[in-house]
């Protein structure tokens, strides 16, 4: 079980390429972490709202959304919605988010709106024993390196990159890595790459195995051991408003996301131990 003293870890799920499995990873990694006992918040920062729909939160029930939070009209706590998954909470999005860039573009702190909201949430959690305490926040981004994604990267400890096993995968990855470098220089010096998760792996496609080998030789141990297979149950689940773990726990997609969750937790422990060593050496 997640300890109440565990600090809140914020991971942004990003790739500027569309349809690579960002939302599927946010929903199902979030569900798997919750199944293992973590308290998880998924922040839907994509105007498409696919994470919200995939978690069964109907558009009619999204009166308040991440839009209201980014423009500073609501706190994150005010917009949270419980989901059918125990320990998994959602901050939903609506199409209003499409207009948020224009609304906040003139603000000096425009890249830090989400960070401010998450800090306020953490403070409430720390000061109020009744408040829900999250150990993981997963932010689902749109397929673009726009101000929404910049807000997510500025607010996060680390980036988790879903990469589809296809020919152009590495090309898109280089662009994302240089953006992360840019963000480190400007918005968030401590941002790291948590890991790269290869998605939609198709055993019948010989090219897919080559892509996996290429990405591993380019990125080394930043690539998670777990590879998410292409699995029809994974793609069916959102139309039922359910994570695949609730839709079909035994299918290969669910099992892969459970494995990924335990790898994420193991990496977290390693990173934390390394940070503690660093602090000790600095003293
Ligand atoms: N492992 C998988 N097996 C089968 N289908 C998958 C798998 N992962 C994702 N899909 C399907 O691929 C499509 C794209 O996935 P997803 O919506 O997660 O990508 P995305 O990166 O969030 O897209 P966008 O950039 O539009 O936000 C969806 O229809 C999803 O159901
Ligand atoms: Mg998406």
Write out the chain's pLDDT in tens, 283 residues. 444 456 899 999 999 999 999 999 999 999 999 999 999 999 999 999 999 999 999 988 899 999 999 999 999 999 999 999 999 999 999 999 999 989 999 999 999 999 999 999 999 988 887 777 899 999 999 999 999 999 999 999 999 999 999 988 888 899 999 999 999 999 999 999 999 999 999 989 889 999 999 999 999 999 999 999 999 999 999 999 999 999 999 999 999 999 999 999 999 988 877 777 777 777 6
Let me know if residue 2 belongs to a domain.
no
Range of the domain at 153: 9-282
State how many domains the chain has.
Answer: 1
Confirm whether 167 is domain-assigned. yes
- CATH code of residue 79: 3.40.50.300
Task: Put the strands of the sheet holding 9-13 in their side by side order.
Answer: 81-82, 88-91, 40-44, 136-140, 9-13, 158-164, 192-201, 223-229
Dihedral angle over CA of 282, 188, 51, 258, nearest 10: -20
Is residue 34, in this structure, part of any structural domain at all? yes
Question: Atom 2, ligand 1: which residue's CA is nearest?
Answer: 230
Q: Which residues contact 252 (CB under 8 A, 6 or more apart)?
A: 229, 231, 233
**Could you tell me if residue 3 is inside a domain?**
no
Whole-number Å distance between alpha carbons of 142 and 204? 30
Task: Give distance in angstroms: CA of 190 to centre of ligand 2.
Answer: 25
Distance from Cα 241 to the centre of ligand 2, integer Å: 15
Taking CA atoms, 262 is separated from 5, 34, 132, 275, in Å, by 20, 11, 22, 20
Name residues contacting ligand 1 (CB within 6 A).
18-24, 46, 48, 50, 143, 199-200, 228, 230-231, 234-235, 238, 253
Phi, psi dihedral angles at 103 (to 5 degrees):
-70, -35
Residues composing the chain: 283
Residue nearest to atom 14 of ligand 1 (CA): 19
User: Does residue 4 sit within a domain?
Assistant: no
């Amino acid at each position: 079980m997640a300890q109440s003293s565990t600090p809140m870890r914020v991971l942004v799920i990003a790739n500027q390429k569309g349809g690579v499995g960002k939302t599927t990873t946010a929903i199902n990694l979030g569900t798997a972490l919750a199944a293992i006992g973590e308290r998880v918040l998924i922040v839907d920062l994509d105007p498409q709202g696919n994470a919200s729909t995939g978690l069964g939160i109907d558009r009619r029930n999204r009166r308040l959304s991440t839009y209201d939070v980014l423009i500073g009209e609501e706190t994150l706590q005010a917009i949270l919605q419980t989901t059918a998954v125990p320990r998994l909470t959602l901050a939903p999005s609506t199409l209003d988010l499409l207009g948020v860039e224009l609304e906040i573009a003139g603000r000096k702190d425009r890249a830090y709106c989400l960070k401010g909201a998450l800090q306020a949430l953490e403070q409430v959690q720390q000061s109020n024993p009744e408040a829900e305490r999250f150990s993981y926040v997963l932010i689902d981004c749109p397929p673009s390196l726009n101000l929404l994604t910049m807000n997510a990267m500025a607010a996060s400890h680390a980036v988790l990159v879903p990469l589809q096993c296809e020919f152009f995968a590495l090309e898109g990855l280089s662009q994302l890595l240089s953006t992360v470098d840019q963000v480190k220089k400007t918005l968030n010096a401590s941002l790291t790459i948590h890991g790269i998760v290869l998605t939609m792996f198709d055993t019948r496609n010989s090219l897919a195995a080559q892509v996996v080998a290429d990405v591993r030789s380019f990125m080394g141990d930043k690539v998670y051991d777990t590879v998410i297979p292409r699995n029809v149950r994974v793609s069916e689940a959102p139309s039922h408003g359910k994570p695949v773990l609730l839709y079909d726990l035994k299918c290969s997609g669910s099992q892969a996301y459970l494995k990924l969750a335990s790898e994420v937790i193991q990496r977290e422990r390693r990173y934390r131990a390394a940070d503690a060593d660093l602090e000790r050496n600095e003293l």
